[in-house]
Structure 1
Amino acid sequence: MRIHVLQHVPFEGPAAIGEWAERNGHPITKTQLYETTKVPAQSDFDWLVVMGGPMGVYDQAEHPWLEPEKAFIAETIAAGKRVVGVCLGSQLIAEVLGGRVYRNPRKEIGWLPITLTDAGRASSVTGVLPETLDVFHWHGDTFELPEGAVHLARSAACEHQIFLYDNRVLALQCHLESTPESVRDIVEMCADEIVPSASIQSAERMLAASDADFARMHEQLFGLLDRFAAAA
């Protein structure tokens, strides 16, 4: 299985998704959209993974590659391939599928829990997760659930955390893929967003996560991706 990654900034790469791919023998290629807009032919990959970034889906004036990226995501979904979106990636998927993307009432930054919905507990994909799981977040936008999507998880600050569309398009608002290195990078690069509140933790708290915290989250991510790969 060949995985292609769309990356929007240097500090938000596939992280632990790359580890899962390596463990399973899945080669990864990347389009780093901050350097090039050249994307592969649909025949050159099997999965598309769309990563996060500090920009919004509506920032086409500053990032003109957003419009062709959306067209490529839509083409990939129409081609019947599996697509995974993380944070900005989930928002791009939501918009492509007809959901409105907008500012969330509160930013959500740090280690905070998500909870499965009834559909999430029953899902063959997310049913592998515990009902409540502490995960890493860094987002200020959210989205309406696209028509036909199944709402799988929520958090206190953000209703739509995970959705599944047609059993082959998975949108993750949260960052299950984060590693100690990627958390350090985003804390450094986006430090201006850290204004501690009920849904924004301090840099010290975010960086205090243990190896066990990351291992627990990655175990859940790997199980989720295994189940997603096998979904009918």
Structure 2
Amino acid sequence: MRILVIQHSSKEHAGGFRPLFERDGHQIVTCTAPQEIGDVDLSNVDGLWVLGGPMQVWEADELPWLAKEIEVIREAVVERKLPYFGICLGHQLLAHVLGGTVGVAAQSEVGLLHANKIGAPPMLDAVPGRFPCFQWHSAEVSQLPAGATILAETDYCAVQAMAWGRSVSSVQFHAELDVATLSDWYEIEGCEEALRQEIGDAADHVFDDLAASEPALSRMRACLYQHWLTGFTA
């Protein structure tokens, strides 16, 4: 398949999912917003991924390129019925497009934390009921879109994962993050300092913690990815 990945920095890429795409021979086309969002053409892609970024959904009025990205997602999901997967901002933008509400979170979540499955969702079938995941968000989906289902939650964020039909799904947590991806994030000016400001001394061992959790994180990524692929036969 030919899959379009919208990212908001060259360093904030699909991370640990990239080897899975490569293994299965999918052609990945990247669009870095805002520079390239105006050039998106959905007529020659089979699926869409939208990744995270520091901007907020409600800033679309001030950021015309973000408004354009929202319309790209709307066209992909609502009009073209393309399989879609969103991460962090991509999760929130999806909820917004589908009629949900996104707002400031009552409690930010940052660092390697844990989420809890709700029921036995196929999207997280091989994942234990409580699983590790890396978080970095200060906004959240506060009202679920009509027709969507919540698949995971944390104590502070009720919509950590959701599905809308069989081919559209998203997660609030950074499922793509592994040690190599965080290293790339650290090349973004101010990233390391911002993380340290959020989690304090825990930043000293965040790489070690990620490495120790990689077997569980890898299983979670593989499960999310394999379930998303079923959208092509939905």
Q: Aligned with 1:111: secondary structure?
A: strand
**Aligned residue among 190, 194, 198 for 1:192:** 194
Q: What is the CA-CA distance between 1:19 and the residue it aligns to? A: 1.5
Q: Which residue of 1 aligns with 2:218?
A: 218
Q: What is the CA-CA distance between 1:223 and the residue it aligns to? A: 2.0
Q: Give the 3 Å change call, closer, same or farther, for CA 210–84 of structure 1 in structure 2.
A: closer
Q: Any residues of structure 2 matched to 1:81-120 within 5 Å, and which?
A: 81-118=82-119
Q: Which residue of 2 aligns with 1:162?
A: 161
Q: What is the CA-CA distance between 1:201 and the residue it aligns to? A: 7.2
Q: Which deviations, in whole Å up to 9, do the C-alpha atoms of 1:27-64 show, x marking residues without a partner?
A: 10011113222344322111100000011011235532
Q: What is the CA-CA distance between 1:210 and the residue it aligns to? A: 4.7
How many equivalent pairs are there?
A: 227
Q: What is the CA-CA distance between 1:3 and the residue it aligns to? A: 0.8
Q: Give the 3 Å change call, closer, same or farther, for CA 15–193 of structure 1 in structure 2.
A: closer
Identical residues among aligned pairs (%): 29
Root-mean-square deviation (Å): 2.0
Q: Which deviations, in whole Å up to 9, do the C-alpha atoms of 1:13-33 show, x marking residues without a partner?
A: 111121211111111001111
Amino acid of the structure 2 residue aligned with 1:208: D
TM-score, length-scaled by structure 1: 0.90
Question: Which of the pair is proportionally richer in helix?
Answer: 2
Q: What is the CA-CA distance between 1:225 and the residue it aligns to? A: 1.2
Contact kept, 8 Å, 1:49 with 1:85, in 2: the verdict is: yes
Return the alpha-carbon distance in structure 2 between the equivalents of residues 115 and 210 of structure 1.
18
**Aligned residue among 112, 123, 136 for 1:125:** 123
Return the alpha-carbon distance in structure 1 between the equivalents of residues 107 and 229 of structure 2.
33
Q: Which runs of 5+ in 1 are unaligned?
A: none
Q: Aligned with 1:229: secondary structure?
A: helix
Q: Give the 3 Å change call, closer, same or farther, for CA 84–16 of structure 1 in structure 2.
A: same
Q: Give the 3 Å change call, closer, same or farther, for CA 195–62 of structure 1 in structure 2.
A: same
Return the alpha-carbon distance in structure 2 between the equivalents of residues 193 and 16 of structure 1.
20
Q: What is the CA-CA distance between 1:216 and the residue it aligns to? A: 2.4
Q: Aligned with 1:167: secondary structure?
A: coil
Q: Give the 3 Å change call, closer, same or farther, for CA 208–62 of structure 1 in structure 2.
A: farther
Q: Which deviations, in whole Å up to 9, do the C-alpha atoms of 1:204-226 show, x marking residues without a partner?
A: 13222253422320222112211
Q: Which residue of 1 aligns with 2:150?
A: 151
Q: Which runs of 5+ in 2 are unaligned?
A: none
**Aligned residue among 134, 139, 142 for 1:141:** 139
Return the alpha-carbon distance in structure 2 between the equivalents of residues 129 and 5 of structure 1.
25
Q: Give the 3 Å change call, closer, same or farther, for CA 162–210 of structure 1 in structure 2.
A: closer
Q: Any residues of structure 2 matched to 1:169-188 within 5 Å, and which?
A: 169-186=168-185
Return the alpha-carbon distance in structure 1 between the equivalents of residues 210 and 99 of structure 2.
39
